[in-house]
């Protein structure tokens, strides 16, 4: 053994077998590093896709659903009070009671499954209990004045405490979803860099080895090395394609599916709350506050610049301003739900104005009839007609996201173990390629 300064020296043999072993070892090391890095990246991306699709996105949808359920809960209370105890409106009252009950369950279920801010969730549960107590008191109140008093408390509680808290949960869940997308994007960038750089390095080393061996051993082709090179190239390119493809699939799911779905849920909840203002106007004996409130909400539904609800500006961020704008509720129904929904809301607005005009001229019974009737041109039908179009659009967007998610998950299928398979093949082919040449030197 040779020594340098008293320390055993590692001699690099510069003869052919030594160089062959060195280049082979280097190639194998790069292959192992690529295998490890690619496997880690693919597993991370797969887990992040699952987090988005099975956790963050459902949570965002649940928070949006909670907001909608609370909005409609109060709308049903208004219907119940308007129906009163009359024989003719008995069926309307029992229908409204049934929907009130269902929305209550919906809100309870959404709160139960919420994994967001526990303090806000607890506050909502407590507030909902108080709201139900006030509604019960309103329905059982002995006089119209008491009924109005308890109902005012209930609807104030809902709008000033419950809905803002539900809005907070909605915003938190959307932020979490944005963060999940951002983290996945960072992992994809890393994975693409690994595939391109390390994969490229491996392919380059294999080609170099092929050329070097061809020159040293005067043999043109080494089939095992050729196969290893082809497999490495396929792996690097496929990994890059897979990462890019699932990224586009999930981004499309967000931009054309989930983002608009959440915006539509918000607009739908706003629509329910606005329509309830028509009934609140009648229950409160024509209080102008509810006329103005309807106008303010309707401005947002039509995308009017006068809309003052700031939360509508929020949308799932894609980084692209135009894409973010298209998925935002700020643009109103026409932008997110299409002209049919916008047209049907305009029709409801018209009947709302007729109802208010009847109420203002003292024809309250006629106004209630126009509000609760289900003929074309009656408010209850026109609102159901509008809601059907928004519900269709919302469901279409949700299905789009589900399809994109399934496509992304399918694209990633097998990629937690495919790098191991490919690179094990490469690592097996390397000794097959060099052993016969090394044997010539024994």
Partner 1 sequence: MRLRVLAVLAPLVLALTACDTPAEPEPPIACASGAVSGQGSSAQTNAVNAWIKAYQIACADAAVAYTSTGSGAGVRAFIEGTGDFAGTDTPLAGTDLQRAGTRCGGPVVHLPLVIGPIALAYNVAGVGDLRLTPQTIAGIFSGTVTAWNDPAIAGDNPGTVLPATKIRTVHRSDGSGTTANFLRYLTAAAPSSWPHGSGSDWPLPGGDGLRGSHRVVAAIARTDGAIGYVESSYARVTDLPTVRVGTPDGSWAQATDEAAAQTIASAQVSDDLRLEIDYTAATAGAYPIVQVTYELVCRTKITPVTRSFLTYAAGRAGQQAAEQAGYAPLPPALQTQVTQAIATLG
Chain positions contacting partner 1, by CB under 8 A: 85, 87-88, 90-91, 93-95, 97-98, 101, 237-238, 241-242, 244-245, 374-376, 380-381, 384-385, 388, 399, 403, 406-407, 410-411, 413-414
Q: How far is the CB of 399 from partner 1 (least distance, A)?
A: 7
Closest contact distance (angstroms) between CB of 343 and partner 1 is 12
**Structure tokens that stand for 86 in this block:** 């009359």
In terms of CB distance, is 212 or 381 closer to partner 1?
Answer: 381
Provide φ and ψ at 114, rounded to 5°: -75, 130
The label of the residue with tokens 């109420």 reads: 359
CA distance 272 to 387: 8
165 vs 378, which CB is nearer to partner 1? 378
CB distance 108 to 99 below 8 Å: no
Q: Between residues 26 and 380, which has the closer beta carbon with respect to partner 1?
A: 380
Nearest to 372 by CA among 269, 283, 285, 264: 283
Closest CB to partner 1 among residues 310, 375: 375
Beta carbons of 395 and 237 less than 8 angstroms apart: no
Q: How far is the CB of 91 from partner 1 (least distance, A)?
A: 4
Torsion 318-323-324-327 (CA) sign = negative
Rounded least distance, CB 255 to partner 1, Å: 18
Smallest separation (angstroms) from partner 1 to the CB of 40:
20
- Min separation Cβ 342 and partner 1, Å: 17
Q: What string of DSSP letters covers 364-418?
A: HHHHHHHHH--STTSHHHHHHHHHHHHHHHHHHHHHHHHHHHHHHHHHTTTTTTH
Taking the least distance from each CB to partner 1, the nearer of 94 and 285 is: 94
> What H or E segment, with its residue span, contains residue 8?
strand 7-8
Alpha carbon distance 259, 326 (integer Å): 9
Cα of first residue to Cα of last residue in the chain, in angstroms, is 21
Describe the chain by its helix, strand, coil percentages, rounded to 5. Answer: 85, 0, 15
Contacts of 270 (CB under 8 A, 6+ apart): 71, 297, 300, 301, 309, 329
Q: Can you tell me which residue has the tokens 């706003």?
A: 270
Nearest approach, Cβ of residue 428 and partner 1 (Å): 22
Compare residues 217 and 385 and give the one whose CB is closer to partner 1: 385
48 contacts 187 by C-beta, under 8 angstroms: yes
DSSP letter for 306, please. T
State the nearest-atom distance from the C-beta of 28 to partner 1, in Å. Answer: 26
Task: Give the nearer residue to partner 1 in terms of CB position, either 43 or 309.
Answer: 43
- CB of 410 vs partner 1, minimal distance in Å: 4
Q: How far apart are CA 275 and CA 280, in angstroms?
A: 9
Min CB(109)–partner 1 separation in Å: 17
Which segments of 114-162 does DSSP mark as H helices, in order? 118-140, 144-157
Q: For residue 112, what are the contacts with CB-CB under 8 A and spacing of at least 6?
A: none
**Of residues 5 and 85, the one with the C-beta less far from partner 1:** 85
Q: Which is nearer to partner 1, 328 or 389 (CB)?
A: 389
Output the smallest distance, CB 97 to partner 1, in A: 4
Element (H, E) at 3: strand 3-4
Nearer to partner 1, 308 or 375 (CB): 375
Distance CA 274, CA 378 (A): 16
- Residue 186 or 374: which CB sits closer to partner 1? 374
């Amino acid at each position: 053994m040779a020594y340098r300064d008293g320390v055993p020296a590692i001699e690099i043999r510069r003869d052919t077998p030594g160089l062959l072993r060195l280049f082979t070892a280097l190639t194998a090391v790069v292959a192992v590093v690529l295998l490890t890095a690619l496997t880690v990246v693919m597993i991370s991306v797969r887990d992040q896709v699952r987090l988005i699709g099975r956790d963050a996105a459902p949570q965002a949808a649940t928070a949006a659903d909670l907001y909608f359920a609370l909005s409609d809960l109060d709308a049903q209370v208004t219907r119940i009070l308007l129906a009163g105890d009359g024989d003719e409106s008995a069926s309307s009252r029992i229908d409204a009671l049934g929907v009130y009950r269902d929305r209550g369950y919906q809100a309870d279920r959404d709160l139960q499954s919420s994994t967001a801010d526990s303090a806000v969730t607890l506050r909502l549960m407590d507030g909902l209990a108080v709201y139900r107590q006030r509604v019960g008191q309103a329905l059982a109140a002995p006089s119209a004045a008491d009924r109005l008093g308890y109902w005012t408390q209930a609807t104030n509680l809902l709008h000033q405490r419950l809905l803002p808290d539900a809005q907070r949960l909605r915003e938190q869940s959307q932020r979490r979803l944005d963060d999940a997308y951002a983290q996945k994007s960072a992992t994809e960038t890393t994975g693409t860099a690994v595939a391109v750089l390390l994969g490229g390095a491996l392919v380059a080393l294999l080609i170099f080895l092929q050329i070097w061996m061809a020159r040293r051993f005067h043999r043109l082709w080494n089939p095992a090395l050729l196969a290893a090179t082809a497999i490495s190239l396929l792996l690097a390119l496929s990994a890059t394609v897979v990462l890019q493809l699932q990224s586009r699939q999930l981004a499309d799911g967000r931009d054309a599916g989930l983002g608009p779905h959440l915006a539509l849920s918000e607009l739908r909840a706003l629509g329910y709350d606005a329509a309830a203002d028509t009934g609140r106007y009648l229950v409160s004996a024509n209080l102008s506050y509810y006329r103005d409130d309807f106008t303010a909400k309707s401005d947002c539904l039509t995308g009017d610049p006068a809309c003052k609800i700031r939360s509508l500006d929020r949308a799932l961020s894609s980084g692209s301003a135009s894409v973010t704008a298209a998925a935002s509720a700020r643009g109103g129904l026409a932008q997110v739900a299409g002209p049919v929904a916008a047209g049907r809301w305009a029709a409801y607005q018209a009947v709302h104005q007729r109802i208010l005009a009847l109420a203002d001229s003292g024809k309250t019974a006629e106004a209630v009839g126009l509000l609760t009737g289900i003929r074309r041109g009656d408010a209850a039908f026109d609102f159901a007609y509008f809601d059907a179009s928004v519900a269709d659009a919302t469901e279409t967007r949700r299905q789009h996201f589900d399809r994109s998610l399934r496509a992304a998950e399918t694209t990633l299928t097998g990629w937690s173990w495919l790098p191991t398979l490919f690179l094990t093949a490469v690592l097996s082919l390397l000794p097959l390629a060099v052993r016969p040449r090394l044997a010539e030197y024994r």
